[in-house]
Structure formats: C-alpha cells, structure tokens
Structure 1
Amino acid sequence: MDWLVLAHGVGNAEDLPIPRDLAIAGAVGALVVSFTVLALAWRTPRYAAAHGRPVPAIGRVADSAALAWTLRLVGVALVGFGVYAALLGEDVLINPVFRMFYVLLWVGIVPASLLFGHAYRALSPVRTINLLVAKVAGTDPSEGVYRYPERLGTWPAALGLFAFVWFELVYPSFNELGPVRLWFATYLAVMLLGGVLFGDRFFARADPFEVFSSLVARLSVWGRDDDGTLVVRSPLANLARTPVLPGLLAVVAVLFGSTSYDSFRESPVWVSFQTGYDGAVPAPLLSTAALLGFCLLAGLLFAAACAATGVREGTSRWALGGLFAHSVVPIVVGYFVAHYLSLFVEDGQTLLIQMSDPLSNGSNLFGTADWSVSYWLSLHPTLLANIKVLGVVLGHIAGAVAAHDRALELLPRRHQLTGQLPLLAVMVVFTGGGLLLLFAA
C-alpha cells in the first residue's frame, strides 16, 4: 500500500528554507524560552478550576435526541458501507475499505475530535448496537452484568491501540482484505461482549478509538460543567480536567511512540539495519521489537522525568506519570498533524472518489467517481514542511504549558521550578528526536 507509506513523511530536509539543524535548534530554543517565561510569569495554577461560558442555544441542539440519533445512524451507515465493501468488494487497493480503516477511522479521529469534541463516542457503532440490544432486552445499556474493574482503567484501550498500530505498521498483510476484515470483526466482537458484561463504561475505558478520540477532544473548545451544561472553555482548561485513570500514561505512550516509530521505519538507518539482518531475523519480529521499544521508551522516559520531581507528602513519585500524562496529548496531536496531514488531505479525497465504486465495477453511487485529487499541498513542499515543523513545536509548547500548570498544583513551592527541569529535559528530547525522525523519513 504505497500510498500509506509515501504520504507519511515530511519530505527531505531541503524542503525547508532553513537548514535542518537550525530548525531543530530553533524548535528546542522555543521550548526552553517558553518554559523560562512560564517559570517567571506563571506562579499559580490557572486551568484546573477554570470555568467555561455556557452556550445554551448550542447546548439544546447538542443534547437533543434528534442529533444524537442522527449521529448514531451516520456511524452505523459508515460501518455498514464498510462491511458491504469488505464482504462483496474485490481485494484490490482501490477498495475504499483500506482508506476508511487507515485514513477516515484512524487519522480522521483527530480533526473530528478537535472540532466537535467527543466525536467517536457520538458516532460509535458499538454503542449504538449495545443500545439497541438493551432496548430489545429491556435492560439499561449503561449497566452490564458486572461492574467494570476500576483498576483496569484504560489499560485495555492501550492494548487495543497497540494492536491497531502493530497491524498497520508491522503486519506484512495489512493491505489485504482478509486480515482487515478479521481485525475489525475481532474489534466489534470484543467491544460488544464488553458492553454486555460491563455496560457503556467499558467503551469509555476499553474502546481504543473512543479513548483516543476523548483525549483529543480535551483540546477542543467544547466542555461540560459539573452539572453537564455545555460550555466553551480554553482547550488547556479542558485538558486539565482529563480523568487520571490507570493506564492513561500507557495510552499516550502508545500514541506517541507509534507515530515516532512510523517516521523511524522509513529512515535510511532502519532500512539499512533491516537489510543487514535480512533472512537471519524475520522482519516482522524486528519491527515488532522496534515498535514496542519506541512505545516503552516514550512511557518510561516520561514516567522517570515525572518521578524525578519533588512531591508533596502522601503523593507517590511513580503516580506522577499518570498525573502529568495529559500534557503529552498536545504533543501527540502535533505529531499527528506533522505526520499525517498530507495523507489525510490527499487520501481523504481519494476515499471520496473510491466510495462511489465500492465493488470496483464502474459504478458511481455518490457522483464522486469522476472527481480528481488535488495535490496542492504536495506541490508546495516548503509550506508543507513548515506546517509540520510548526505542528510539532506548538504541540510541545502546549504540552509544556499543561505540565507547568499541573506542576504548580502538585509540587511543593520549593520544588515548583527545579522540579520541572526533568520534564523540560524530556520535552527537549522528544522535540529534537521527533524533528530528526521527521527529517529522516
């Protein structure tokens, strides 16, 4: 599936109007300067208790049953269309199933959640099916047979996310229809069984796509007050309200580590390394080890930096990783922008074209089969490269702001500045390393 590989990279270093080393130094400098300004001018936490501005007119529409069921039907229709193309369509790369799976579902979660909030939860086909089953059975969809174990937190979602990125980035037959059908069928079966056993809470904790969407939605302007009223609020204030659950750090580590690995696997260093071991060690085994290594390294570096800070009495150092994990979300979003922007724009257009002919028989169901793809972004590589670098830099600065605000809540006064230095160091490593990987891809 060459389209998925070629659209990921940032392009060559020559695409930038400034040298690569200077771009990385500037990005790291911007992060350090931002931290210095925060340390001097921001002495009290601002976001955790920030209030939003109610928007009652929009709230009435957003909370209406008509909109809820419209979105549910859209989600079911998209899944139904995908199943139709997967079961009856040909096993060729122009089958829209592949782009629905890798582009619309995976990459589309980010812009949809940034713009509209908890987008996947509103569209979730498994929530809708669970609701319909509960209505037929006369039971409450929010309650299952058992209570969801709180100690599990979002660990199941972290495992589900790793299963997806492994399938996309490592599994050799990721571009064949049979394995894609099997992966999604397994996902649906596990989610529906979990819904029966634990109710809707299972989806909020264990559905990899819903958990991912909910984290990104914390960076939207839409939020809820304690009484459930829809409000407009600073994205960083919404982010500060991210529930601290077991496995949260694992989720963001998988998201960040897998995106970094996706750049790394396209670099000459990794390609040469794999070629050197060709035949001696199976390539999927090497790739699996590298992907897992990137995810573990991201999580362990961040957890260690958090543990190195000073803590108030009664707070475990190793609990700080989860308390600060929300600050990695802007970094993840920045990397998604940098890594998948051209993929989403250009392959998204291709998907609209392919959806008109799901069975590859020359049909034109939606009148889009004759459309052509605009490669305007790819034809302006300097602009594209600068947008991607800017995405990384702004994501890291927003992450630094979120981490600083949380540090003011958690750290004793005497450690509020020095305690953040390990976090700054790991942010610098993430920034420089991430940009190096983007240039190398």
Structure 2
Amino acid sequence: LTSATRALSVVALAGVIAIGLAGRVIPTLANPLQNAAVLVVWVGWWAGYVATVYLVGNSWPALNPWRALADWLPSLERPYPDDLGAWPSVVGLLALVWLEVVSPLADQPYLLALVVLGYTAVTLAGAFVFGSETWFDRVDPIARVFRYYGAVAPIHRDEDGLQLRLPGSALTDPDLVDGRDEVAFVVALLWVTTYDGFVGTPVWRDLARAVVGAGVPAELLYPAAMLLGFGVFLGAYRLAARYARDTAETYLTSAALARRFAGSLLPIAAGYHLAHFLGYFVSLSPVLVGVLTNPLSPPANPVVIVLPGWFGGVSVAAVLLGHLLAVWVAHASAYDAFPGRLQAVRSQYPLVVVMVLYTMSSLWIVSAPNVVPPYV
C-alpha cells in the first residue's frame, strides 16, 4: 500500500510539472483557473491538504513524492554537518514563501512548474549526498512543516499503529523542539503565513508604494520586510523566554525555556493558516474538482463559490481557537517543567503577552480588506 501511494504521488508530481509547462503552449491552460497544476498546488495541497495535517494527522510521510524518488535512488550517505542543524530548513522556508509572494506563481503555470522542477532538483541532490533519511529529517523545510503541524493533530502513528489523542497534547513533549535552530523554524512557520497575509493588506500596499516611490527597489523591499518581520517575531519570543526565567525564578536558562514552550506557538500558526486559506479553498474547490476531471480540456466557465458575509467569522474563530489551544499547551508544559504551581503560573506572564501580540496581528490581517500585492 505504501509503495502504491508513493508511486501515485510521484505520478501526481510529474503531472503538476507537465501541466504547468503545457500552460506555455496551450492557451486554455495558461489561465490559472483552468490549469490543474496551479489549482492542485495552491488550492488542493497548500490550502486544503495542509489543513488536514493539523486537523486530522500527518500523512505526508506516505505521500511525499520527493522522498519516494530519493528512496529509489542511490546515495553517498555523507555525514551531515551538525553545526548546520535545522538552519537550512529555516532559510528554505523563508525563501519559498518570499518567492511565492514576490513572483506570480499562482498566476503563471509555467513559472510554477519551473520552481517545482528546481525544488525537485535541489531536494534529490541533497538526498543523494546526505541520504534521504538525513535530508528529510533535518534539512527539507516542507517535511519539517508537516512534522510540526502533525504534532497539533488528534491522530498520530506509533509502533502500535494509529492512536487518538487530545489535539495539541503532543506539543507538550519536551523533545519536540530541540535547539535554537528548531525554535527559529517554529517562529518562521508562524511568521511566513503572517507575512503572506500582511502583503495583501492595504497598509502594506500603501507602504510599499511610498517606499518604492522614495527610490528603494522593490527587489530589496520584500526580502527586507521578510527578514525584518522574522527578526521581530523571533526577538519577541526570545525576549518573552528571558523574562519568563525572571518571573518564574528558575535555574533553567532562557534558551531552555524557549525550547520548552516553542511548541505552544504551533496552534497559533495552524489557526492562522486555517483562517487565511479556508475561504480560498472552499471558494475554489469546485474549480479544482472540475479541472481534475479533465486536466487537458478544463471547463471554459469554472464555477466559483461566493462566500457569504458571515464566513469571515469562521476565520476569526479559527484564530481564537488556535490561541486558546496555544495557551493550554503552554500551561501544560509549564506544569511539567516546574515543580511549583505558582512558579509555573508566573512563568506564563511574558509568554501570554507575546502570544496575544501574535494573535492580535493575525486577527488584524484577517479582518483587513484583501488586495493583490504588486509583483516585483
């Protein structure tokens, strides 16, 4: 069953690349709402499938087409430099989202196919040098995203098979996040979805126009905003961990506290992802189904669901539920980490503040009007 699933995933990857490239020569496939590659990647995979990972369970290890290809190929099994840790995956995640924001990947199937081809080449080369086990466990940003999101889900797999647990309960595991590099990745996962939404707000549009009008190249503005925002998010979390050490009066270092409570940020990231992409997935799901039934001759007039006005409340509820789950996870982790009840409670004061700030930014973006950001 696993072999068949992996084979189908490789076929799907090849289909995405082929249909995307066909958009360059077939006029109907150049339309993003008629191109199966665009719809599968953005609507089916990044919007719909990712939500199933944190709402249900992480099935990506059985569906990962790049790992299937890497496992079928030989490997040099060179030792991976321990000093690098998870930092390449942090850089990879930031780079992928920056590329998605500054280029019309959702509008040009041919460009999307080239990016998928490039990602495939880099992934297979890395797996060839270091081995697929090492590459997908330590370097590949997509595999790490799904692994962390899967820890939020109620279903997981262990040596006894599939198990049911309370959503978010695995996030209290002290070994879930191990090291400054993994803390940075968790914060990056929270930041990239925020960044994706922020560049679609009128505030960013007006700011970008003013900055570019002042002579700053747009090619410099977008990566600078990406790195600056990530630095602010990461700095705020590290500052909260440092103050948590003071309020808890503990011998644990601030770095240890940052690792211990990093898992509590994942429900906020998951809640905002659901809020950001749920409406997008629902409105375009009929288009996705129609195109998949005949990818080479898609419907001329695709059906798009118009969402009612109250649907915005669902997005707000997703953000708030993610915040509540994050607070519960942080409190549960605190009671595990500290021997005293009062000490555990005091450790949460700075962390709750930074969680509220993260959630407020998500709510502001969800409630702001959506505009199309100018491409570089």
Which structure 2 residues correspond to residues 73-92 of structure 1 after superposition, within 5 A?
A: 73-90=7-24, 91-92=30-31
**Does 2:255 match 1:318?**
yes
Query: CA distance change for structure 1 residues 161 and 177 in 2, over 3 Å: closer, same or farther?
Result: same
Q: Distance in 2 between matches of 1:124 and 1:440?
A: 35
Match of 2:101 among 153, 157, 169: 169
Match of 1:205 among 120, 138, 145: 138
8 Å contact from structure 1 (residues 258, 294) kept in 2: no
| Sequence identity percentage | 29
8 Å contact from structure 1 (residues 407, 420) kept in 2: yes
Which structure 2 residues correspond to residues 23-422 of structure 1 after superposition, within 5 A?
A: 66=1, 68-90=2-24, 91-93=30-32, 94-114=34-54, 116-134=56-74, 145-171=77-103, 175-199=107-131, 200-225=133-158, 227=159, 229-241=161-173, 243-246=176-179, 247-279=181-213, 280-310=215-245, 315-359=252-296, 363=297, 369=299, 373=303, 375=305, 378=307, 380-382=308-310, 384-411=311-338, 413=340, 415-422=343-350
Q: Distance in 1 between matches of 2:14 and 2:142?
A: 18
8 Å contact from structure 1 (residues 339, 388) kept in 2: yes
Deviation at 1:286, TM superposition (A): 1.7
Provide the aligned length of Structure 1 versus Structure 2.
356
Unaligned runs of 5+ in 1: 1-65, 135-140
Q: Structure 2: which amino acid aligns with 1:330?
A: P
Query: CA distance change for structure 1 residues 282 and 358 in 2, over 3 Å: closer, same or farther?
Result: farther
Query: CA distance change for structure 1 residues 431 and 111 in 2, over 3 Å: closer, same or farther?
Result: closer
Greater alpha carbon shift after TM alignment, 86-95 vs 337-346: 86-95
8 Å contact from structure 1 (residues 334, 394) kept in 2: yes
Secondary structure of the structure 1 residue equivalent to 2:39: helix
Q: Distance in 2 between matches of 1:392 and 1:116?
A: 18
If asked which structure has higher relative contact order (CA below 8 Å, sep 6+), I would say: 1
Q: Distance in 2 between matches of 1:439 and 1:117?
A: 29
Which structure has the larger Rg over C-alpha atoms?
Answer: 1
Q: Structure 2: which amino acid aligns with 1:326?
A: G
Q: Distance in 2 between matches of 1:174 and 1:346?
A: 15
8 Å contact from structure 1 (residues 85, 97) kept in 2: yes
Deviation at 1:172, TM superposition (A): 5.6
Deviation at 1:401, TM superposition (A): 0.8
Deviation string, structure 1 residues 320-376 (Cα, Å, up to 9, x no partner): 2222111111101110111111111222332222334544xxx36xxxx48953515
Secondary structure of the structure 2 residue equivalent to 1:245: coil
Secondary structure of the structure 1 residue equivalent to 2:244: coil
In angstroms, what is the RMSD of aligned CA positions?
A: 2.5
Q: Structure 2: which amino acid aligns with 1:213?
A: F
Q: Structure 2: which amino acid aligns with 1:202?
A: W
Query: CA distance change for structure 1 residues 156 and 104 in 2, over 3 Å: closer, same or farther?
Result: farther
8 Å contact from structure 2 (residues 21, 110) kept in 1: no
Q: Structure 2: which amino acid aligns with 1:240?
A: T
Q: Distance in 1 between matches of 2:170 and 2:211?
A: 47
Deviation at 1:81, TM superposition (A): 1.0
- In the superposition, the TM-score normalised over structure 2's length comes to 0.86
Deviation at 1:174, TM superposition (A): 6.1
Secondary structure of the structure 1 residue equivalent to 2:156: strand
Q: Distance in 1 between matches of 2:92 and 2:46?
A: 13
Q: Distance in 2 between matches of 1:353 and 1:371?
A: 10
Query: CA distance change for structure 1 residues 187 and 173 in 2, over 3 Å: closer, same or farther?
Result: closer
Deviation string, structure 1 residues 239-270 (Cα, Å, up to 9, x no partner): 22362233222222222212222332232222
Q: Distance in 2 between matches of 1:344 and 1:296?
A: 30
Unaligned runs of 5+ in 2: 25-29, 370-376
Q: Distance in 1 between matches of 2:259 and 2:103?
A: 30
Q: Structure 2: which amino acid aligns with 1:323?
A: R
